[in-house]
Structure 1
C-alpha cells in the first residue's frame, strides 16, 4: 500500500480516537473529523463510504487486536479467573475498545467481540462445539463480564476483584456444563 495512503488512514483513525475520547462518537460527523484531521472530505470518502463504514472498520480492528492477544489458550477453561483478567486487560488496554464500550455502540461491539471470542474458543476446543450447556454458560459469562465492567470501569482493582470472584463461580459452572 502506498505510504501516503497508510499515513492518511492512520491520521483518520487517530483523529477519530481523539475526537471520540473527547466528544463521543454519537455526534461525530465526517466534516468535523476531516477538519480535525486536516484533510478534505474527498480524501475521507476515497477510503470510506461514510462514518458508519469507519466505525465498523475501527470496531473490527479493535476486536482483531484483542483477539491477537491470545486470550483463548489452554488456560481459558482450567483457570477462568486468569481468562477473565486477561480479557479485561486486553479490552482495557485497547483505546478503541474503551471508546466503543462506553458509547451507544456498546451492544454492537460486545456482540461482535463475543462472536470472535466464541470462534477462537471453539477453534481451540472443538469438542465443546457440541455442548449446548457450555454455549449457554459461555454466553452468560461473557455478556455478564462485559456488563459488570460497565459498573466498575473506573477502578482496575475492582475489575480484578470481580474477575476473581466471578472466576470461582464460573469454574463450577463450566465443570457442570461440560459434564
Structure 2
C-alpha cells in the first residue's frame, strides 16, 4: 500500500511540475495561478496544496531539484587536469541537453525565475574549490569565476535557444577554449 501511495505522490508531483513548465513557456510565474496549474495537470487544488504552498514553491522545488541533480552529476568526477575540466564541461552540457525543455524555459529572459542565480551560485562554489590552474585568490578569483561562469551560462542559453545546433562535445570545446585560451585562442571553424 505504501509503494502505491509513493508512486501516486511521485506522479502527482511530476504532473504538477510538467504543467508549471508548460505554463512558463507562455507567461511569467507572477501571472500563473494555482488554479491554472491544477486545471492543466487535472489535479484538484487541495491535492496541489498537500504538496506545495503555491506556484512559487513549486517553481523553487523544480529549480532546486535540477541543482541537486547537477551536484550529484559533478560529484562523480574530480577536477585535476585541464582534460578533466573539459570532460566535466561536456558532461554538464550533456545534462542541460537531456533537460533542454525545462532548462531553456527556466533560463528564458521572459521568465522571472531564480534559476540562473542558483546555477551561478552553484557553479561559483565549484569553480572556486576545484578549477585546475586557478592560482588567483580573493577578489581576483571571484571576478574571474563570475566572468567565466556567466559567459558559459549565456553560451549554453544561446545554444539551447538555437535548437542545440552543435553537438555537446563541440559546445564543450567552445567553452573550454574560451576559458583556457580566451577569445584570441579560439580556433576558427
Q: Please list, as runs of the form range in 1=range in 2, the aligned pairs for 1:1-179 lying within 5 A after superposition.
A: 2-3=5-6, 4-21=8-25, 23-26=26-29, 27-70=31-74, 73-75=77-79, 78-79=82-83, 80-94=85-99, 95-105=101-111, 108-122=114-128, 131-132=137-138, 133-153=140-160, 154=162, 155-157=164-166, 160-172=169-181
Deviates further, 129-138 or 62-71:
129-138
Partners of 1:41 and 1:77 lie apart in 2 by 51
Unaligned runs of 5+ in 1: 174-179
For 1:176, the equivalent position in structure 2 comes to none
| RMSD between aligned residues | 3.4
Aligned residues: 172
Structure 2, unpaired ranges of 5+: 183-189
2:124–2:149 Cα contact (<8 Å) kept: no
TM-score (norm 2): 0.71
Structure with the larger helix share = 1
Q: Decide whether aligned partners of structure 1 residues 28 and 97 sit closer, same or farther in structure 2, where only a CA change above 3 A counts.
A: same
| Alpha-carbon separation, structure 2, partners of 1:160 and 1:19 | 32
C-alpha separation in 2, matches of 1:48 and 1:106? 19
